Chain A
């Protein structure tokens, strides 16, 4: 016995600690306040960038507290675990404390409780209490599910109640939060988050993980049959589209075009369109159009290999492929840039945007340089994710919305219609309570009493 008491002591203390809503408030506000830090310090950057931005001292200090990946730091995770334990223990504690209210087959009513209510609606009827009894019973039955009739010293009391189950709304919300955290945990243990670049026409069977250096082998192959990017007139991207094929031992099993917001899912693994790029082509066909003669000369060009242009129009050297090149402040997309050296003039920089093949005409030079017909080869950048916890999280989402609605806008309502003989008449007293939003319940009782007065007088 004594042993048990000692054991119960610290356990009770811990239990009590977690049943406190004050603890909930402290944790919620701490989570809110500390979450701000991670929005001010960009997360998961290169250490060198942090070092540059904060200096030695703060870099070390911030590292100790894990502020560069703070939402995964031990102390932030601890706060979340504490909140979860708090939610679970609070809920268990309150359910067991209120079990007599929550779980009843035949609800009991106390007349005194209704008689003590400040707000009551009263009216008189010429019939006796016994005559009114059936009218009122039918009325209450229509509006409230469960009813009970008692005989009082002066007549009858007719009780009704509904919505007792709505008291579980708050526990629904709490369990939804727990589900979200469980779902997140499942995802982080059994899932992965990676990426892979696939050149058009090629296939891959392993991906790069965000969290670790060595690649992950998939048990199927992903082939990129085609990649397309389209633009609006304004230059903003319109659509990124990859045609993917899933191969199992070389056999095509699934084909799908994916775009942003419409991934391909296969065997619990999802492939998202996340980026793209052009493959550096080692050979480029250039066309040189002489302004004087109108002759067109096509030549294959490689980077940094000078080309002598016929008709003594000079030499041209291709220097680089510039990503998102700027021309007079406008983004003209990817462009090849080269240097044209005419025979007796200064060298000029020539820009050859991939998207505008006749761009160089605008320069109005003696030779117009154009990008020849060449099939641009792209690679598609896919995000490859497995998250088996996502359905648990989605269940949590649905439960949270339903639970919030029940908790905020529905209540457990009880009504008491008392029929008391007063002289030759009967006084009808309508009173009601609700566990939430008592003001609205008062209004509702007034409406019900009005209806009852009308319906009983007609009979």
Chain B
């Protein structure tokens, strides 16, 4: 079986993990949530295996390169980083309800990569502009940032749910972590994501300067990444200096993730140098 075969199976593994997390949360079955963690771990292992195999396959085809060069490969990597980020948090905060909100995101990313007819899973050789040592650094930094924002998005949704219905013990909401913890977690994730988003923009700028002779050119992808940066910078300042907490930061975090998604997908609809498929 080749890498795309394995990765399309992983789609369903992530789907199952998401289902288990949600099931365990709704029906309050801790044993199922433990199983969900194992399913997610197996999915992550398969995801990494798929990426490594794809890397090897590209060398066998005679034009080896890191599997980070097109929309398919980036989605697969994105799904992996989301699950990795989540599992680290699950371990640190020993709470599995977050998985019900985050694992489905990894499933969606993977499903989009594997099932969408518009996304080719063929391994293509690198075009001249992508042949750069900055490719790996740029893509990895961006997607670590994106995945932190994705988990922050899930956490913010949880916060808003928790915030709305105050103290119905026995309801679904009562199993969510405390609002304070969610708020703090959101903030931690946004800081982490912001550092890596900055690193991603910076490596991209240095790369652009070596390929195109300018570090910043206001192309739509660059501009949207800056818009995302502005939104999260607003969140950080509002929180640290003006003391915004809870609902307002949760909404900003959700808005920021909207900007991330547009930077990632929406920009391909607009004209620019980054639109993967058009080369």
Residues of A within 8 A of B (CB): 21-22, 24-25, 28-29, 31-32, 35-36, 38-40, 42-43, 71, 184, 193, 232, 234, 236-240, 259-263, 270, 272-274, 383, 385, 387, 390, 393-394, 397, 400-401, 404-405, 408-409, 437, 439
Contact = CB atoms under 8 A, between A and B. Distances in A.
Interface stretch (B36-44, B50-58, B187-195): B187-195
29 contacts: A28-B233, A28-B234, A28-B237, A29-B230, A32-B227, A32-B230, A32-B231, A32-B259, A35-B223, A35-B230, A38-B218, A39-B223, A42-B271, A71-B218, A193-B213, A193-B214, A234-B124, A234-B125, A260-B128, A260-B131, A261-B131, A272-B211, A274-B212, A390-B209, A393-B205, A394-B206, A401-B195, A401-B199, A408-B191
A259 B192 contact: no
B182 to A, nearest CB: 12
B261 interface: no
B15 interface: no
Contact of A25 (B63, B237, B279): B237
Contact of B128 (A32, A261, A400): A261
B234 A232 contact: no
A397 B207 CA distance: 13
B14 interface: no
A259 B132 CA distance: 11
Interface string B115-128: 00000000011011
A370 B242 CA distance: 75
B216 interface: yes
Interface string B163-202: 0000000000000000000001000100110110011001
A24 B236 CA distance: 11
Contacts of B231: 28-29, 32
Interface string B93-129: 0000000000000000000000000000000110111
B224 A385 contact: no
Nearest to B229: A32
A35 B279 CA distance: 26
B267 interface: yes
Q: Which among A32, A239, A273 has the highest number of chain B CB atoms within 10 Å?
A: A32
Nearest to B212: A272
A294 B207 CA distance: 55
Given A25-B242, A232-B63, 9 more contacts: A31-B230, A32-B227, A39-B267, A236-B124, A238-B128, A261-B211, A273-B128, A404-B198, A439-B184
A261 B63 CA distance: 18
B273 to A, nearest CB: 12
B132 A261 contact: yes
B125 A401 contact: no
B234 A383 contact: no
B238 interface: yes
Contacts of A36: 223, 227
A39 B237 contact: no
Nearest to A384: B213
Contacts of A43: 218
Contact of B213 (A24, A270, A408): A270
A9 to B, nearest CB: 26
User: Nearest 9 CB-CB pairs, A to B?
Assistant: A32-B230, A260-B128, A408-B191, A39-B220, A385-B213, A21-B241, A272-B213, A261-B132, A397-B202
B279 A236 contact: yes
A240 B242 contact: no
Nearest to A69: B218
Contact of B194 (A42, A408, A437): A408
B6 interface: no
Main secondary structure of the interface of B (DSSP, over half): helix
A21 B199 CA distance: 25
B268 to A, nearest CB: 12
A439 B187 CA distance: 12
B237 A240 contact: no
Contacts of B199: 401
B210 A263 contact: yes
Given A21-B242, A25-B238, A236 B198 contact: no
B23 interface: no
Given A260-B128, A394-B206, A401-B195, A383 B230 contact: no
Nearest to B181: A439
A237 B128 contact: yes
A231 B120 CA distance: 20
Contacts of A400: 198, 202
A239 B125 CA distance: 11
A401 B194 CA distance: 10
Interface string B233-274: 110011001100000000000000001000000010011000
Contact of A383 (B195, B213, B223): B213
Contacts of B68: none
Interface in B50-78: 63
Contacts of B218: 38, 43, 71
B242 A22 contact: yes
A39 B192 contact: no
Contacts of B209: 390
A378 to B, nearest CB: 15
Contacts of A404: 194-195, 198
A260 B237 contact: no
Contacts of A39: 220, 223-224, 267, 270
A239 B128 contact: yes
B202 to A, nearest CB: 4
Contact of B192 (A22, A393, A408): A408
Contacts of B129: 260-261
Contacts of A394: 206
Contacts of B259: 32
A383 to B, nearest CB: 5
A260 B128 CA distance: 6
A300 to B, nearest CB: 35
